[in-house]
Amino acid sequence: MSSKRISYTVEGEVQGVNFRSFTHKQANSIGITGFVSNASDGTVQGEAQGSADAIKEFVGHLNTGPSAASVNEVKQKEMETKSGESGFNVR
Tell me if residue 5 is catalytic: no
Q: Which of 38, 72, 89, 91 is catalytic?
A: 38
Q: Which of 5, 18, 20, 72 is catalytic?
A: 20
d(CA 7, CA 43): 13
- Please give the model's pTM, rounded to 2 decimal places: 0.94
Tell me if residue 91 is catalytic: no
| Tens-digit pLDDT string for the chain (91 aa) | 579 999 999 999 999 999 999 999 999 999 999 999 999 999 999 999 999 999 999 999 999 999 999 999 999 999 999 999 999 999 9
Mapped onto helix, strand or coil, the DSSP state of residue 30 is helix
Options 3.30.70.100, 2.60.15.10, 1.10.600.10, 1.10.10.10; CATH of 3-78: 3.30.70.100
Q: Where are the domains of the chain?
A: 3-78
Enumerate residues 6+ apart whose C-beta is below 8 A from 9. Answer: 39, 43, 44, 45, 74, 75, 76
Residue 56: CB atoms within 10 Å: 12
